[in-house]
Amino acid sequence: MFLEQKGNKIQKKGWIEVVCGSMFSGKTEELIRRLKRAEFAKQKVEIFKPAIDIRYDDENVVSHVGTSIRSTPVPSSGNILLLANDVDVVGIDEAQFFDDELPEVCEKLANSGIRVIIAGLDMDFTGKPFGPIPALLSKAEFVTKVHAICMQCGDLAQYSHRKTQDEALVLLGEIDEYEPLCRKCFNLVPKR
């Protein structure tokens, strides 16, 4: 937490951090690591996730390797503004599933002196920008792109290939439904 002197008043300086990448790249693991470090530093932390994400736990944010942290599931990004009171750090997981108001919500939090850490997929299963993530990337002071390992050739992977024929944009799934692929292997997959 950084403090800045403005006249006789000391203000907290907020900012936005985005951790993005494909499925199985460690986005949630990195989010949890940063949030636990903030808690260790005695900062007040609140974590939010979309209410639809119940893959591993109804409430906790849980990484694919089982690391978890307490969170509050919310139906929309506007709820985050209502619930993030008197905090130093806000964490948001699976940001791609939130509505298009999320970038504005994050900007309001950062402008009020809160460090905002967001994790989410930057591309959907077709390789197109996903949900509010592109707007968040443009507003963030810090962007970390993490990579998985391509399940076909072993190179760095940045695509989340859907192995099922389901065409819905949002399909919560794991290794049975998705696999990380590099650019070359993703482009070799027949397009739907």
112: tokens are: 């009020």
Cα separation, 99 vs 30, in Å, equals: 23
Q: CA torsion angle for 163, 27, 92, 161 (degrees, to 10)?
A: -20
* HSE-up (13 A, CA, CB side) for residue 21: 25
One of 29, 94, 101, 167 is an active-site residue; which one? 94
CA distance 6 to 49: 34
Neighbouring C-alpha atoms within 13 Å toward the C-beta of 136:
35
Element (H, E) at 106: helix 102-111
Consecutive H or E run containing 20: strand 15-21
Provide the token pair at 44: 């007040």
Is 104 annotated in the active site?
A: no
| Catalytic residue ranges | 94
